[in-house]
Amino acid sequence: MKYFIYCRKSSEEDNKQVQSLDTQERILVDFATTKGLKIVDIFRESKSAKDAGTREIFGVMLSKITKGDADGILVSHTDRLARNYNDAGDLLNLMSKGLLKEIATPYRAFNSVQDYLYMGFDFVFATHYSAQLGVKVKEGIDSKVLKGEYPTHAPLGYFNKEGKIYIDETKAPYIRRLFELYSHNQYSIKEIGNILYKEGLRTKGGNKVVTAVLHRALINPIYRGDFMWNGKLYEGIHEGIISRELFEAVQGVLEGKNRAKNNTFNFLYRGYLTCAVCGCKLTATKKKQKYDYYYCTNGKNLCNQHKDYMDSDDIKGLISNNFANFIINKEMCDLSLEQYKQDVRKNNNYQDSTRNLLQNQLAKIEEKLDKLVDMNLEGLLTKEKYTEKQNKLLTEKGLIQEQLKKLPNQITENTLELLEKFKERCYHLQNLFDEGNEDVKSDLLKSALWNLSIKDKQIATAQYKLPYQELANASKSNDFDTWRGRRDSNP
Ligand SMILES: [Zn+2]
d(CA 273, ligand 1 centre) in Å: 11
Taking residues 307-327, what's their average pLDDT?
83
pLDDT digits (tens, 9 = 90+) for 284-301: 887 666 677 888 877 556
Question: Any idea which fold 147-265 has?
Answer: Hect, E3 ligase catalytic domain fold (3.90.1750)
Q: Name the percent of the chain in helix, strand, coil, to the closest 5.
A: 55, 15, 30
pLDDT for position 158: 95
Asked if residue 478 has pLDDT above 50, the reply is: no
Specify the pLDDT at position 275. 86
State the pTM of this model.
0.40
CATH label, 2-137, candidates 3.90.550.10, 2.60.40.650, 3.40.50.1390, 3.40.50.300: 3.40.50.1390
Compute the distance from residue 457 Cα to the ligand 1 centre, in Å. 11
Tell how far the Cα of 274 is from the centroid of ligand 1, in angstroms.
8
CB 83 within 8 A of CB 47: no
Q: Is 62 helix (H, G, I), strand (E, B) or coil?
A: helix
**For position 7, what pLDDT does the model report?**
94
pLDDT 10s digits, 98-124: 899 898 888 777 777 666 666 666 665
Containing 374, the helix (H) or strand (E) segment is helix 330-377
- Cα–ligand 1 centroid distance for 293 (angstroms): 15
> pLDDT at residue 434 above 80?
yes
Compute the distance between CA of residue 314 and CA of residue 324 in angstroms, rounded to an integer.
16
pLDDT confidence of residue 124: 58
Q: How far is the CA of 469 from the centre of ligand 1 (A)?
A: 25
Cα–Cα distances (Å) from 113 to 53, 108, 190, 419, 472, in that order, read: 26, 14, 57, 18, 11
**Looking at 138-179, which runs of residues are DSSP E strands?**
158-161, 164-167
Residue 462 pLDDT level (bands cut at 50, 70, 90): confident
Neighbours of 140 (CB within 10 A): 9
Q: How far is the CA of 438 from the centre of ligand 1 (A)?
A: 27
In the reported structure, the alpha carbon of residue 443 is separated from the centroid of ligand 1 by a whole-number distance in angstroms of 27
Residue 439: what are its φ and ψ, rounded to 5°? -65, -45
Spacing, Cα 296 to ligand 1 middle (Å) = 5
Q: From ligand 1's centre to the CA of 92, what distance in Å?
A: 27
pLDDT tens digits, one per residue of 66-85: 999 999 999 988 778 876 66
Q: What spacing in Å lies between the alpha carbon of 455 and ligand 1's midpoint?
A: 8
Instruction: Identify the bridge partners of residue 41 per DSSP, sorted by sequence position.
Output: 4
Give me ligand 1 centre to Cα 452, in Å: 13
Domain locations along the chain: 2-137, 147-265, 332-413
Q: Does 161 score more than 70 pLDDT?
A: yes
CA 276 to ligand 1 center in whole angstroms: 7
Task: Kindly report, residue by residue over 243-269, the tens digit of the pLDDT.
Answer: 988 998 898 888 777 655 544 446 788
| Cα-to-centroid distance, 294 and ligand 1 (Å) | 12
What is the share, in percent, of the chain residues with pLDDT greater than 70? 80
Cα 315 to ligand 1 centre (Å) = 16
User: Residue 220: pLDDT above 70?
Assistant: yes
Mean pLDDT of 398-411: 81
Question: In the predicted model, what is the mean pLDDT of the chain?
Answer: 80
Per-residue pLDDT at 264: 46
